[in-house]
């Protein structure tokens, strides 16, 4: 045995040891890659089932759906679907949007019918409103009623204040009430009395004139016939 043999043997041993370590590390790396790819494959299979279910929900069954291949897959055959994960996710989003659009389109007729019913109800209410609304009482009648219920004369301001409280929906000013009350005076439905610079109003109650009694016809008296007597 020469002196070089131990050196060559030790070099081969180191080389073999390094190769074994590299082989072991490569196996570990491939196992991890296969495990990762297997997880990607499982996710794709779940996405496939979800997409098939969504497709059935929207009623699109005309196009045939390719069935996934079964059997043992190598690392090379698994890498292709993994590279297309983003495309599958986009297709999933597009299918979800389509299903949402179909549901929204189905709800539109119902919404239109509800809007049409509301519009019809508003039109019917608008038609009935004028018929049910009472005609406002004329101001002359309100003033005459108020004065008729008073025990003493009232000024135009007092009448306006009382009617404003009783009818807050009406815009009654002192001038308007005074002018309207003067109309009642002109129609002999009220009378005015002035004390100093203040004018007071009092209602006049009209009663139906009593029916005139028929004129008495003088009773006719019968006269006995006068007979002439001769002496």
Q: What pLDDT, on a 0 to 100 scale, did the predictor assign at position 142? A: 93
Reported as a pLDDT band with limits 50, 70 and 90, residue 67 is low
The token duo for 18 is 């390094």
pLDDT tops 90 at residue 161? yes
Q: What pLDDT, on a 0 to 100 scale, did the predictor assign at position 56? A: 84
The torsion of the CA quartet 162, 167, 168, 170, rounded to 10 degrees, works out to: -110
Beta carbons within 10 angstroms of residue 142's beta carbon = 20
- What is the rounded distance in angstroms from the CA atom of residue 73 to the CA atom of residue 183? 108
Residue ranges of alpha helices (H) inside the chain are 4-57, 75-83, 85-132, 139-148, 156-166, 174-186
- What is the rounded distance in angstroms from the CA atom of residue 88 to the CA atom of residue 96? 12
pLDDT tops 80 at residue 169? yes
Q: At which residue do the structure tokens 């069935």 appear? A: 67
- What is the rounded distance in angstroms from the CA atom of residue 65 to the CA atom of residue 56? 11
- What is the rounded distance in angstroms from the CA atom of residue 154 to the CA atom of residue 79? 105
Closest by CA position to 40, among listed 69, 82, 88, 83: 82
pLDDT tops 50 at residue 213? no
pLDDT tops 60 at residue 175? yes
Residue ranges of alpha helices (H) inside 133-219 are 139-148, 156-166, 174-186
Provide CB contacts within 8 A for 144, sequence distance 6+: 184, 189, 190, 203
0.75 surpassed by pTM: no
Beta carbons within 10 angstroms of residue 182's beta carbon = 15
pLDDT tops 60 at residue 83? no
Gyration radius from the chain CA atoms = 57
Q: What pLDDT, on a 0 to 100 scale, did the predictor assign at position 223? A: 43
Which DSSP helix (H) or strand (E) runs through 137? none
Share of the chain above pLDDT 70, in %: 61
Reported as a pLDDT band with limits 50, 70 and 90, residue 220 is very low
On whether the CB atoms of residues 85 and 45 are closer than 8 A, the answer is: no
Average pLDDT over every residue of 219-229 = 42
Q: For 90-117, what is each residue's pLDDT tens digit?
A: 666 766 776 677 666 666 665 667 777 7
Q: Which of 45-59, 91-105, 199-213 tops mean pLDDT?
A: 45-59
């Amino acid at each position: 045995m020469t002196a070089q043999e131990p050196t060559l043997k030790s070099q081969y041993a180191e080389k073999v040891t390094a190769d074994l370590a590299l082989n072991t590390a490569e196996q570990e790396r491939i196992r991890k890659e296969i495990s990762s790819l297997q997880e990607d494959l499982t996710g794709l299979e779940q996405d496939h089932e979800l997409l098939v279910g969504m497709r059935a929900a929207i009623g699109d069954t005309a196009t045939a759906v390719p069935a996934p291949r079964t059997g043992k897959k190598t690392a090379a055959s698994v890498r292709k679907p993994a590279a297309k994960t983003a495309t599958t996710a986009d297709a999933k989003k597009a299918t979800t949007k389509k299903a949402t659009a179909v549901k929204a389109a189905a709800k539109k007729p119902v919404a239109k019918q509800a809007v049409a019913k509301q519009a019809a109800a508003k039109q019917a209410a608008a038609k009935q409103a004028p018929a049910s609304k009472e005609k406002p009482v004329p101001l002359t009648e309100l003033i005459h009623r108020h004065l008729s219920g008073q025990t003493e004369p009232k000024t135009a301001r007092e009448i306006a204040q009382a009617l404003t409280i009783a009818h807050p929906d009406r815009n009654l000013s002192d001038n308007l009430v005074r002018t309207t009350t003067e109309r009642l005076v002109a129609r002999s439905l009220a009378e005015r009395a002035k004390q100093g610079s203040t004018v007071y109003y009092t209602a006049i109650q009209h009663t139906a004139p009593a029916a005139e009694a028929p004129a008495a016809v003088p009773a006719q008296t019968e006269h006995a016939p006068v007979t002439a007597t001769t002496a």
